[in-house]
Every structure is written in structure tokens, then in C-alpha cells.
Amino acid sequence: MMGAMTTAAVLGDGSSLPKPVVTWVIPGANATYPAYSNVPLQITVSDPNPGATISSVTFYQSTPSVAKIIQVLTGPPFTCTMPNVPPGS
């Protein structure tokens, strides 16, 4: 089963401008998968600032002690697969 894995963090440049908006597409709300599944991930990202662009999106797989990069994407679609997800992740 998969729990609260769908968390997004937006890193800005320290300015007071609005940060980009991240929306999870896959997995959907309340999605569950069998233990040790390969879980598809997809997000959309938009930047509310005029003329701004999204230069990259990084997907991580985290444990309490380590965050491992799954994939870095430099343009849409922002889709990847999180491999071998353990129970309760």
C-alpha cells in the first residue's frame, strides 16, 4: 500500500515573487498500490510570474534518513516511475 507519498516542495530563488504551483496528476487522491510496486508519478507545474519558465523538476524517493533522486526532467511532461515502493511509503 502507498500512503502520503505525494508531497511536493517548491524551491524558489529567495525573492518575494509567488512560487510555482505544483499539482499531482498521478497518483490520484487516495490511490493505493501493492507493496513493492513500480508507481507512476506525474505532475503539472505552472509559474504565476510573467515571463517565468520552469527549468527542471526533480523527483525524489525518500526514507527517514536518505533522499534519492529518481529522475530529473527539464521539460514536460513531468512523468516518471518510482521503483519498488515498500509498504507504507
Whether residue 78 is contained in a domain is answered as yes
Cβ–Cβ under 8 Å, residues 26 and 5: no
Whether residue 31 is contained in a domain is answered as yes
Domain that holds residue 27: 21-85
Whether residue 3 is contained in a domain is answered as no
d(CA 59, CA 78): 9
Compute the residue count for the chain. Answer: 89
Number of domains in the chain: 1
Whether residue 39 is contained in a domain is answered as yes
Average pLDDT, rounded, for the chain: 83
Give me the mean pLDDT over the 19-28 stretch.
Answer: 90
Does residue 13 or residue 86 have the better pLDDT?
A: 86
Banded model confidence at residue 7, pLDDT cuts 50, 70, 90: low
Question: pLDDT at residue 1 above 50?
Answer: no
Whether residue 60 is contained in a domain is answered as yes
Q: Which of 80, 88, 43, 39 is CA-nearest to residue 63?
A: 88
